Amino acid sequence: MPVMLHFHGGGFVSGSNDSVTNDFFCRRIAKLCDVIVLAVGYRVVPENKYPAAFEDGLKVLHWMAKQANLAECSKSLGSTLVGGTDMRKSDGHWHVADAFGASMLEPWLAAHGDPSRCVLLGVSCGGNIADYVARKSVEAGRGVQPGSPFCHCFGERTTFEADTPNADSGC
């Protein structure tokens, strides 16, 4: 199943990956698109200076690359022993030294998702982060699947009486 990284909105000063609204949005997207949605919690201002949010976006994409690499490694290992060393630690996570250094494989992601099929989604200012991360990924030669920007501010168009032509204008 593909994995979608969702960057919330909030004008870089508010919003949260664990707000009720964001949770509802992510659950709905996951159900409609049949993907695993990971809501990214990035640093906001004024507590953090620019470009903290963009750096966090790159860090989470780097983490996803690790997950894809480690998931492939764990599948090819076929056991918990590598060179006589048990790679499964007491916390139940796989610990594998890979090209990125020591890291942990998240078993739930390896079992249910395909981190190599990563999609970026951003709403409002989160769209700027998603775009930046995608561009940096392409520049580094590790391109993310191309996609379209997604930012629907409203679910449907509502026409009010004042919006209709000639309403109360006598024209």
Non-local (6+) Cβ contacts of 134 within 8 A are 120, 143, 144, 147
Residue closest to 50 by CA, chosen among 19, 5, 13: 13
Measured CA to CA, the distance from residue 121 to residue 151 in angstroms comes to: 9
Question: How high is the pLDDT of residue 105?
Answer: 66
Give residue 7's identity as a one-letter amino acid code. F
Q: Give the residue-averaged pLDDT of 121-146.
A: 82
Measured CA to CA, the distance from residue 83 to residue 85 in angstroms comes to: 5
Angle at the Cα of 52 from the Cα atoms of 47 and 53, rounded to 5 degrees: 100
Measured CA to CA, the distance from residue 144 to residue 141 in angstroms comes to: 9
**Tens digit of each residue's pLDDT (9 = 90 or more) over 1-55:** 888 999 999 888 888 888 898 899 999 999 999 999 999 999 999 999 999 999 9
CA distances to 66, 72, 78, 90, 92 from 81, rounded to whole Å, are: 20, 15, 9, 14, 14
Domain map of the chain by residue range?
Answer: 2-77+98-148
- Tell the residue number behind the tokens 């780097």, with chain if given: 62
Q: Count the neighbouring beta carbons within 10 Å of the beta carbon of residue 78.
A: 7
The pTM of this model reads: 0.68
Non-local (6+) Cβ contacts of 142 within 8 A are 65
Confidence of residue 96 (pLDDT cuts 50, 70, 90): very low
The most confident of 67-76, 83-92, 114-123, 151-160, by mean pLDDT: 114-123
Q: Which CATH class is domain 2-77+98-148?
A: alpha beta
Q: Where are the alpha helices (DSSP H) in the chain?
A: 20-33, 52-77, 107-112, 125-139
